Amino acid sequence: MKQLPAATVRLLSSSQIITSVVSVVKELIENSLDAGATSIDVKLENYGFDKIEVRDNGEGIKATDAPVMAMKYYTSKINSHEDLENLTTYGFRGEALGSICCVAEVLITTRTAADNFSTQYVLDGSGHIISQKPSHLGQGTTVTALRLFKNLPVRKQFYSTTKKCKDEIKKVLDLLISYGILKPDLRILFIHNKAVVWQKTRASDHKMALLSVLGTAVMGNMEPFQYHSEEAQIYLSGFLPKHDADHSSTSLSTPERSFIFINSRPIHQKDILKLIRRYYNLKCLKESTRLYPIFFLKIDVPTANVDVNLTPDKSQVLLQNKESVLIALENLMTTCYGSLPSTNSYENSKTDVSSADMAVSKKAETDVLFNKTESSGSNYPNVDTSSISFQNDVHADESGENINGCLNHIHVHDHYDDHFISENSNTDNTKNTFLEIPMDNLSSEDTQKEYTETCFVGSVTQAQSENGRIDESGGNEKEAVPEKSVEICADNWSRGNALKNAMGENIEPVKILVPPGSSACEGSERSPPSPEQKSLDDGSCNKKSNVVDHKSGQLTAYDLISRRVIKKPMSASALFVQDHRVQFLTENPQTSLEAAAIQIEELWKTLSEEEKLNLFNGSHYLEILYKMTAGDQSYSGSTYLSDPRLTANGFKIKLIPGVSIAENYLEIEGMANCLPFYGVMDLKEILNAIVNKNAKEVYECRPRKVISYLEGEAVRLSRQLPMYLSKEDIQDIIYRMKHQFGNEIKGCVHGRPFFHHLTHLPEAT
């Protein structure tokens, strides 16, 4: 027998702690949180294997500590074994940085409040400083790990498939999300390969943090709870699905949104998860499914009762009083959902271990302290049941209702989906549920703003559509207005003085918003117009602005500021007229605009239904679509058109091939739901750009609605940027711009140039 060389021992023990990309990220984030950071940027390249970078704005590392910061078993967090009893930090073993140095090339740039500038340290495999140089970053610490597992080919091999790599990104995301919920005031930015995967702005409390992560649809179905067992010193708090919630929005097939924290550590605890799931399934879903509720459970117990030193990644904890915690939890669940039939207590279910459970709890030893407990509910001496409070306070209820009542306009829309998941056309449940995560970075402020905005829009919509309805009804007005109304002047109408009812009182003319008798509309009043005329009239006699009849998209703040008219879709005839006007006028230059419109409209009337339809499903449009590249065929033989000119403009089009090309069948299966009134006509706009302008690139065929949406988003996002960016960030941006735009595009979506020439710097000699 031989003793292993020290380097090998180090590598072996390190690879116990640093097992994956997500474990590096977890250690680095916890270091940042321990350093009091309120802002953390996580950047990965090539799924983290080329580069993992975590930047924080924490207290930084003192120059005197730097030489040992990455030496194993050096820590600033505890001094002795006893300190473990009162652990308030995530880290305490002094192992993480050292371990990362063993499996990657590490750079640490750091600056404390007392430093004048930051210093970048380059470390070697054993955590020693190889070199150091001044750098330009602000207060805080940036740890960069390059070429992870380069010396562990087998470990790298494990990540050889894209699926595994993507899973890893998803794990990182889930981890970031759980810290994001736990620490509402933490700002998080997660970037992979230069694209923002997820970001979270600061939120005021757990509820707002959850709202930004889970979205309004889910949060509208959640209810806060609080529970305190005085004797056992257990605090439980968080959010659970309401008993009578719309459970389709609070159930998932995986526990990825079942957030459990013990003393602020995100943990995997099988029994806790199972207990909650059992109650949820039997009491809320009323059946024995295997669905996981979305929930947020924060368990706080005295630090001395928890041993986190169980697994290297600290995601398992040993609860000294686990029984009491489970009892407390069962009490809570009973209060929230009602008691279970005795056969369904958690004891009986102990043997039933699904594969999902296995995935959650890798180590069975975690359960060592689980003792069988009688389930009859009465013999829980430790628990002070009187202190259970399932919060039903008015505030929570009210906001819940707001969410339900007003926010159904807000569509959860995630860019993440576009960039990352949609490539995966398989739609297993995990993916589906994943798509529900709102990636909008809603700060509490943003969210609240959106509430009010949306509620506001809701009411405006209603008022205006009423307005619109009456305006449009033209000849039908008689139904709403008594005969005499023709002689009544507008002013009297609007003052409500015009009519006396049987009691001699004025009747409020609530139904009339636009008085009859204005000259332009008079003609149409006498003889009810044809539907076509009506839509032409729309433009001439209804001088409404910002008419919103029905909106399928969410109105952005930008829409409101820009005061741009948001048009409802035009009628078929109006579109026909619009399309043919130019051609008609060139062919008949003498005709006036109005006459042309009338003539084209007459032409429209002569078309058969089929011809009319064909104009819009026009075969030349179909031809272009058929020519576009499609993705891989699924089992059913259908495919999706993968041409970026469609996908990047928010259209998901399914192609079901027929026996011959003529029998091919196209179906628009999805459209970007962030744009008001986005629809087939916008698809037509794209196809027109392709036919008429030979648009090859996405930017050449963006529909106008998409352009203005992007303009709005550009403004919104740029407002979120910090005032001053570091040199590195600027270089990064320039690199991306070069990479993505090439040399052709020199200006932003608003048409302004990206760069201004300030001065010419002479070359240094």
User: Which pairing describes strands 187-192 and 39-45: parallel, antiparallel, or unpaired?
Assistant: parallel
Burial group, residue 605, by CB count within 10 angstroms (0-12, 13-18, 19+): exposed
Number of residues in contact with ligand ADP under rule CB under 6 A: 23
**Least distance between ligand ADP and beta carbon 111 (Å):** 10
Q: Are 229 and 387 contacting, i.e. CB atoms less than 8 angstroms apart?
A: yes
CB 325 within 8 A of CB 234: yes
Nearer to ligand ADP, 14 or 321 (CB): 14
Q: Which does 180 bind (CB under 5 to 8 A by kind): Mg ion, ligand ADP, none?
A: none
Q: Which two tokens stand for residue 690?
A: 């392709």
Shortest Å distance, C-beta 140 to ligand ADP = 7
Q: Which of 14, 15, 20, 31 binds Mg ion (CB under 5 A)?
A: 31
> Considering CB distances under 5 to 8 angstroms, the limit depending on partner class, which of Mg ion, ligand ADP, none binds residue 92?
ligand ADP
Given candidates 75, 251, 324, 556, which one binds ligand ADP under the rule CB under 6 A? 75
Using the contact rule CB under 6 A, the part of the chain among 52-60, 574-582, 636-644, 710-718 near ligand ADP is: 52-60
Q: Give the Cβ contact number of residue 419 at 10 Å.
A: 15
Select from 48, 58, 184, 650 the one that contacts ligand ADP (CB under 6 A).
58
Q: Which stretch binds ligand ADP (CB under 6 A): 87-95, 352-360, 442-450, 631-639?
A: 87-95
For the bound state, the minimum distance from the C-beta of residue 92 to ligand ADP, rounded and expressed in Å, comes to: 5
Q: Give the long-range contacts of residues 556-562, CB within 8 A, separation 24 or more.
A: 556/674, 556/709, 556/712, 556/713, 556/716, 557/449, 557/453, 557/712, 557/716, 558/708, 558/711, 558/712, 558/713, 558/715, 558/716, 559/676, 559/712, 560/453, 562/708, 562/712
> Please, what is the minimum distance in Å from the beta carbon of residue 132 to ligand ADP?
15
CB 204 within 8 A of CB 444: yes
Q: Which residue of 41, 56, 446, 537 would you call a contact of ligand ADP, by CB under 6 A? A: 56
Amino acid identity of residue 365, one-letter, is: E
| Piece in contact with ligand ADP (CB under 6 A), picked from 55-63, 538-546, 720-728, 735-743 | 55-63
Q: Which is nearer to Mg ion, 95 or 682 (by Cβ)?
A: 95
Q: Which two tokens stand for residue 57?
A: 């704005």
Among 18, 57, 94, 188, binds ligand ADP (CB under 6 A): 94
> Do β-strands 39-45 and 51-56 pair in parallel, antiparallel, or remain unpaired?
antiparallel
Give, as ranges, the residues between 114 and 153 that touch ligand ADP (CB under 6 A): 141
Rounded to whole angstroms, how far apart are CA atoms 24 and 173? 13
76 touches, from Mg ion, ligand ADP, none (C-beta below 5 to 8 Å by class): ligand ADP
Comparison of 65 and 374: residue with beta carbon closer to ligand ADP? 65
H or E, element range at 85: none
Specify the residue, 44 or 437, whose C-beta has the smaller distance to ligand ADP. 44
Count of residues that bind Mg ion according to CB under 5 A: 3
Closer to ligand ADP at the Cβ: 53 or 453? 53
Where does residue 102 rank: exposed (0-12), middle (13-18), buried (19+ CB within 10 A)? buried
In contact, 679 and 550? CB cutoff 8 Å: no
Residue 32's binding partner among ligand ADP, Mg ion, none (Cβ under 5 to 8 angstroms by kind) is ligand ADP
Query: Which residue, 143 or 284, has its beta carbon nearer to ligand ADP?
Result: 143
Of ligand ADP, Mg ion, none, which one does residue 95 interact with (CB within 5 to 8 Å by kind)? ligand ADP
What does the angle CA 258 – CA 262 – CA 263 come to, to the nearest 5 degrees? Answer: 140
Binding segment toward ligand ADP, per CB under 6 A, in 73-81, 258-266, 582-590, 709-717: 73-81
Task: Please say which residue, 93 or 247, places its beta carbon nearer to ligand ADP.
Answer: 93
Give 77 or 147: the residue with its C-beta nearer to ligand ADP.
77
* Contacting range for ligand ADP; rule: CB under 6 A; set: 1-9, 75-83, 455-463, 752-760: 75-83
Residue whose tokens read 């003529």: 662
Interaction with ligand ADP in 186-225: which residues (CB under 6 A)?
none
Q: Does 91 bind ligand ADP (CB under 6 A)?
A: yes
Q: State which of positions 672-731 bind ligand ADP (CB under 6 A).
A: none
Nearer to Mg ion, 75 or 216 (CB): 75
749: left (phi > 0), else alpha (psi -120 to 50), else beta? alpha
- Binding partner selected for residue 238 from ligand ADP, Mg ion, none, CB under the kind-specific 5 to 8 Å limit: none
Q: What angle do CA 578, 582, 585 make, to 5 degrees?
A: 120
718 secondary structure, DSSP code: H
* Two tokens, residue 652: 């998901």
Q: Pick from ligand ADP, Mg ion, none: which does 650 bind, CB < 5 to 8 A by kind?
A: none
Q: Is 96 in the site for Mg ion (CB under 5 A)?
A: yes
- DSSP 8-state class, residue 87: -
- Closer CB to Mg ion, residue 52 or residue 96? 96
Minimum CB distance to ligand ADP, residue 135 (Å): 15
**266 with 260: CB under 8 angstroms?**
yes
The Cα–Cα gap between 271 and 260 comes to 11
Binding to ligand ADP, residues 22-51 (CB under 6 A): 27, 31-32, 35
542 phi-psi bin (left φ>0, alpha ψ -120 to 50, beta other): beta
**Residue 91 CB, nearest distance to ligand ADP (Å)?**
2
Residues 290 and 583: their CA atoms lie apart, in Å, by 62
Binder to ligand ADP among 10, 93, 192, 206 (CB under 6 A)? 93
Residue of minimal Cβ distance to Mg ion? 91
Task: Name which of 94 and 238 has its Cβ closer to ligand ADP.
Answer: 94
Among Mg ion, ligand ADP, none, what binds residue 58 when CB lies within 5 to 8 Å by partner kind? ligand ADP
First to last CA, the chain: 62
Report strand pairing: 265-266 vs 258-262.
antiparallel
Tokens found for residue 499: 């009519």
What is the rounded CA–CA span in Å between residue 174 and residue 418?
A: 18
| Residue 441 C-alpha from the chain's centroid | 7
DSSP-assigned letter for residue 102 = H
Nearest approach, Cβ of residue 148 and ligand ADP (Å):
16
Stretch that binds ligand ADP, among 89-97, 200-208, 224-232, 451-459 (CB under 6 A): 89-97
Contacting ligand ADP (CB under 6 A), which of 25, 52, 69, 306? 69
CA distance 179 to 512: 55
Q: Which does 573 bind (CB under 5 to 8 A by kind): Mg ion, ligand ADP, none?
A: none
SS3 state at 413: coil
Stretch that binds Mg ion, among 30-38, 362-370, 478-486, 625-633 (CB under 5 A): 30-38
Output 90 or 149, the one with its CB closest to ligand ADP: 90
Asked whether the beta carbons of 199 and 188 are under 8 A apart, the reply is yes
Residue 95 touching ligand ADP (CB under 6 A)? yes
Query: Using CA atoms, how far apart are residues 368 and 594, in angstroms rounded to an integer?
Result: 85
CA 509 to chain centre: 46
Tell me the residue ranges of DSSP E strands in 136-270. Answer: 140-146, 187-192, 195-200, 222-229, 234-241, 251-252, 258-262, 265-266
Does 91 participate in binding Mg ion (rule CB under 5 A)? Answer: yes
User: Which of 96, 276 has the CB closer to Mg ion?
Assistant: 96
Residues that bind ligand ADP (CB under 6 A): 27, 31-32, 35, 56, 58-61, 65, 69, 75-77, 91-98, 141
Residues that bind Mg ion (CB under 5 A): 31, 91, 96
